[in-house]
Amino acid sequence: MKRRLIALGLVISMAYGALVLAEGPDVPAQLFQVSVVRTSDGWTARCDTGCAWREVAIACANSCPIFLDANGVTADVARPQTSTAFGMVIRRAGKGWEAESVTGTAWQRLGWSCPMERCGARISEHGVVTMPSGV
């Protein structure tokens, strides 16, 4: 009986630890919706909700990291702004993308893959929905 209680305690502790790791940043999630499309020479983005901008495009090579937030985009990912409703660093990763939250999301990291050269995804405060042929 004692072993069962110890085992149950360990299972509960591990489950709680997994829940804590899955939580997003401490800032409450802000309402936003951004569509990004990976192209052969960079990417385009459109903000449908929660931004001061509407559409942007950038040509870049390699992993093409950018900081995207409610106010716009910048290639300066080393000093992301945290005084905005939401913010994330997005970069190419293999045949897909990765996004890392800086502030204002319910998630910490997202990743998705693209079977074609041109592919897109819709990112919100809660996660990502992929659209293989673009947005």
Per DSSP, the three-state class of 21 is helix
* Better-scored residue on pLDDT, 83 or 104: 104
Write down the pLDDT at residue 119. Answer: 76
Both tokens assigned to 73: 């985009």
Mean pLDDT of the chain: 77
d(CA 63, CA 7): 44
CB atoms within 10 A of CB 85: 18
d(CA 31, CA 50): 6
> Using 50, 70 and 90 to split pLDDT, how confident is the model at 98?
very high
pTM above threshold 0.75: no
Write down the pLDDT at residue 24. Answer: 47
Q: What is the mean pLDDT of residues 89-105?
A: 89
pLDDT digits (tens, 9 = 90+) for 42-90: 788 999 999 999 999 888 877 788 889 999 888 778 876 677 899 999 9
Q: Where are the domains of the chain?
A: 33-131
pLDDT at 4 over 80: no
DSSP 86: -
pLDDT at 26 over 80: no
